[in-house]
């Protein structure tokens, strides 16, 4: 986003990491703001949204990209998925809406997953909430179209990066890692940059007539036909 000239606000739970990333983002020449936030905390999330709008002079785009990664098959996974994956997205949109309604290029982009499209080796709660995010965004797209506010989702496939979940699986569960690699006809996993390119496109004014879309970025991993 900053390479395209956008002012950006980010949050994460680790304050030191947020500070480091914000300083790095500032080197691209745009305004950047960040704060330590647990997005499952409603008041903290809403506070960060308001602070971001004040720091950057408004909000044109919101991108919800957080998951509890709750893949167990128990009630705790369902609760964690609801609190983090689902409700942080809903609360982010609701908190940002007063500023989105004032924007000439308002866009909402929610990060779902290919696990929301088909049954895979993740837990039932994870896939169910990822599917729910697509449904939620589609509803927003329809409801907000007359106001010029767009809403889309991006569904990444397996995405590998240092320190990420797939590196942890590669080191801790090599059998699962090998299974995941064998399912992708490209013979590799995606990169954050490849997913980010799709997110930037859907969020930018150049895709002004694209709303209610779920963009799958998975290297042909999934076999379902999206008509």
Q: Which residues contact 210 (CB under 8 A, 6 or more apart)?
A: 150, 152, 202
Q: Which residues are catalytic?
A: 113, 126, 130
Residues 205, 143: contact at Cβ < 8 Å?
A: no
Residue 74, both tokens: 């128990």
Alpha helices in 27-114 (DSSP H): 42-56, 75-80, 87-100
Give Cα separations from 39 to 16, 42, 45, 90 (angstroms): 17, 7, 5, 11
- Treating both helix axes as pointing N-terminal to C-terminal, what angle do 174-183 and 165-172 enclose, rounded to 10 degrees? 120
How far is Cα 138 from Cα 46, in angstroms, rounded to an integer? 23
- Which position has the token pair 């049954």? 119
The phi and psi torsions of 63 (rounded to 5 degrees) equal -130, 115
CA dist 7 → 17, 105, 137 (Å): 19, 14, 24
Tally the residues of the chain: 227
Q: Which residues pair with 156 in a beta bridge?
A: 217
């Amino acid at each position: 986003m900053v390479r395209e000239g956008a002012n950006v606000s980010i949050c994460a739970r680790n304050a030191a990491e947020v500070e480091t990333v914000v300083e790095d983002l500032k080197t691209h020449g745009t305004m950047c703001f960040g704060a330590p936030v647990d997005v499952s905390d409603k008041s903290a999330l809403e506070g960060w949204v308001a602070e971001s709008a004040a720091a950057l002079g408004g909000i044109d785009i919101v991108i919800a990209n957080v998951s509890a990664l709750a893949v167990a098959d128990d009630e705790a996974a369902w609760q964690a998925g609801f609190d983090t994956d689902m409700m942080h997205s809903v609360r982010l949109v609701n908190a940002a809406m007063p500023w989105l309604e004032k924007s000439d290029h308002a866009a909402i982009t929610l990060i779902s997953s290919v696990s929301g499209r088909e049954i895979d080796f993740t837990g039932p709660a994870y896939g169910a909430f990822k599917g729910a995010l697509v449904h939620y965004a589609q509803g927003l797209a329809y409801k907000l179209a007359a106001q010029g506010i767009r809403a889309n989702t991006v569904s990444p496939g397996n995405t590998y990066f240092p320190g990420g979940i797939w590196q942890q699986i590669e080191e801790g569960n090599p059998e699962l890692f090998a299974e995941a690699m064998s399912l992708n006809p490209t013979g590799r996993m995606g990169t954050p940059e490849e997913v980010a390119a799709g997110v930037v496109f859907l969020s930018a004014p150049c895709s002004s007539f694209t709303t209610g879309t779920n963009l799958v970025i998975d290297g042909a991993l999934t076999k379902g036909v999206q008509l």
